[in-house]
Chain A
Amino acid sequence: MKYLGWDELLPGAILFSFDEELDKDPAEILPEDRPYAETNSHEAYVGDWRVLKPVYNRDLCIDCQFCWVYCPDVSIISRDKKMIGVDYDHCKGCGVCVEVCPTNPKSLLMFEERIDNDEALAQWPEKQ
């Protein structure tokens, strides 16, 4: 990002979310299709704030969308009410998605950041 001088800033410490004017409500545009501005927090990587990461197990998920609803940082990716996975660029590892997951065993579990996701899936616990 280019560092602007004081005389190049917009008054009011304001930033526009998108590079272009939208012709419809952004809620009706999928995130991957939105023309995010470079300064939008969507473009910022904050995955390194995380100590533990949620790993998603598609085989157990019932697509209830609880995790999508409860995620405080819009980091659960879901399309047409089908759970797809976790946005690791923005997930802070709070664990709320794991907490609210209703399946047995859970379809989302926290693992240490250094553990590979395939390795994590191989260690998944049995039904209790």
Chain B
Amino acid sequence: MAEKMQLNEVEVWDGNMSASQALRQAQIDVVAAYPITPSTPVVENYGNFLANGYIDGEFIMVESEHAAMSGCVGAAAAGGRVATATSSQGFALMVEVLYQASGMRLPIVLAVVNRALAAPLNVNGDHSDMYLGRDSGWVQLDAFNSQQAYDLTLMAFRIGEDYNVRLPVMVHQDGFITSHTAQNVNPLSDDEAYEFIGDYKKVNPMLDLAKPVTYGVQTEEDWHFEHKARQHHDLMTKIFGVTQDVFDAFEEKTGRKYNLVEEYFMDDAEVAIVALGSTVETAEMVARKMREEGIKAGIVAPRMIRPWPHEQIKKALSKVKAIACLDRSSPNGALGMLYNEVTASLYQGDNRPIISNYIYGLGGRDFTIEHITDIFKELDANAKEGKLTTPLQQFIGLRGPKLSFY
């Protein structure tokens, strides 16, 4: 039996350690991981816990990230609680198997430290890998700081393993800004955390020899469409309710409140930034300052990226006059993901705000208070004019001549 770890009421953990500790407390049966960069610290810490007697489960070191997720798929189909961690290029290599995991409805938890994708080679943070996963059929939750990385990783097990969900869940955090920055974190005790997640409930495990089962059967044009439709239906209709229930239960236990879409100063906001990750906290600070200057600024931050919380986004932005959607991933020939999703959601509502798109922070480029201040001022101008006063898509924090489109 694994030893329990005595934790302080307040620990100083970076985002990696927060994810590692949540994985440890979940009492996972199998972690299959490729323990070199880019997933290093999350599984390195986990390996350390194992070596020191804090973990009972198996830790399988494999030859690649593709193999890591493959090992997770096998172990989850066999009937175990399973998780792993990755980032960047490793995430990219995992992509093929991400679709296998979700198609087989295996509630694997994946801790993702969001980092750039090469070329050019870069180890710093942006949202390219997170965006790459958005059609893979996983539930994607986004943490904006270390505490949230811990909380959401714990909650991810309960969400994914819910009988009505049975889908894999990614918990994202920003590379370096969150993953390597030590912050105060309030953890649960080992007993409380495990009690919150509960024992793993097997559903149709392959190791039930009395009832042999094949996962991910071969289908062609006569069956494939129905299976994909079933998965999409469950993503669209079942996740939101279950996730909100888990968020509510977590709030009751810890006092920390989570929403499918987080809102800051949105009660009377006239202009709003829609953003993800650590940017949200910087934007919150700037919004406070803008309000002193008379600009009614607010922030809307999707806690869940997939499935896309269409109704909640529509509601959160139902009163603003101008919106900036901030994408930290190069759309490579389109408008940014957040712009497209937010615009599509709002098109179904009554509010018709001016919406613009900013590409920022690629490859770990700093995104500063000044940048966000400029954006809020541009939004204020848009709101006052009632039309776009800037190009539709702008690159911000980029050297050289100003780059913008449309």
Contacts and interface: CB of A to CB of B under 8 A. Distances in A.
A4 B225 CA distance: 11
A46 interface: no
Given A6-B227, A12-B166, A14-B217, A26 B212 contact: yes
Most chain-B CB neighbours within 10 Å: which of A3, A12, A39? Answer: A12
B104 interface: yes
Interface string A1-37: 0011111011111111110011101100000000000
Most chain-B CB neighbours within 10 Å: which of A10, A14, A22, A39? Answer: A14
Interface in B329-357: none
Nearest to B227: A13
Interface residues of B, number: 25
A14 B104 contact: yes
B77 to A, nearest CB: 8
Nearest to A16: B213
Interface stretch (B37-45, B51-59, B203-211, B285-293): B203-211
Contacts of A6: 225-227, 229-230, 233
Contact of A12 (B204, B210, B212, B222): B204
A15 B217 CA distance: 7
A71 B106 CA distance: 33
Nearest to B164: A11
Contacts of A3: 222
A48 B210 CA distance: 33
Contacts of A9: 226-227, 230
Most chain-A CB neighbours within 10 Å: which of B215, B222, B230? Answer: B230
B209 A13 contact: no
Contacts of A4: 226
Most chain-A CB neighbours within 10 Å: which of B214, B225, B231? Answer: B214
Most chain-B CB neighbours within 10 Å: which of A7, A9, A11, A16? Answer: A11
A16 B104 contact: no
B210 A23 contact: yes
B104 A13 contact: yes
Nearest to A12: B105
B103 interface: yes
A18 to B, nearest CB: 7
B262 interface: no
Contacts of A39: 217
Nearest to A3: B222
Nearest to A40: B214
Given A3-B222, A9-B226, A12-B204, A25 B211 contact: no
A12 B104 CA distance: 4
Contact of A11 (B166, B210, B213, B214): B166
Contact of B213 (A5, A15, A26): A15
A101 B147 CA distance: 66
B105 A11 contact: yes
B216 interface: yes
A45 B194 CA distance: 49
Contact of A17 (B166, B212, B225, B227): B212
Given A5-B226, A6-B226, A23-B210, A14 B204 contact: yes
Given A7-B230, A12-B204, A17 B214 contact: yes
Interface in B190-243: 204, 209-217, 219, 222, 225-227, 229-231, 233-234
Nearest to B103: A13
Contact of B212 (A7, A10, A18, A23): A18
B211 A16 contact: yes
Most chain-A CB neighbours within 10 Å: which of B209, B212, B219? Answer: B212
A39 B213 CA distance: 11
Interface in A81-128: none
A16 to B, nearest CB: 5
A21 B213 CA distance: 11
Interface of B: 103-106, 166, 204, 209-217, 219, 222, 225-227, 229-231, 233-234
12 contacts: A9-B226, A9-B227, A10-B204, A12-B106, A12-B204, A13-B104, A13-B105, A14-B104, A14-B215, A16-B211, A16-B214, A17-B212
Given A6-B225, A13-B217, A18-B212, 12 more contacts: A6-B227, A6-B233, A7-B230, A11-B234, A12-B103, A12-B105, A12-B204, A14-B104, A14-B213, A14-B217, A16-B211, A18-B211
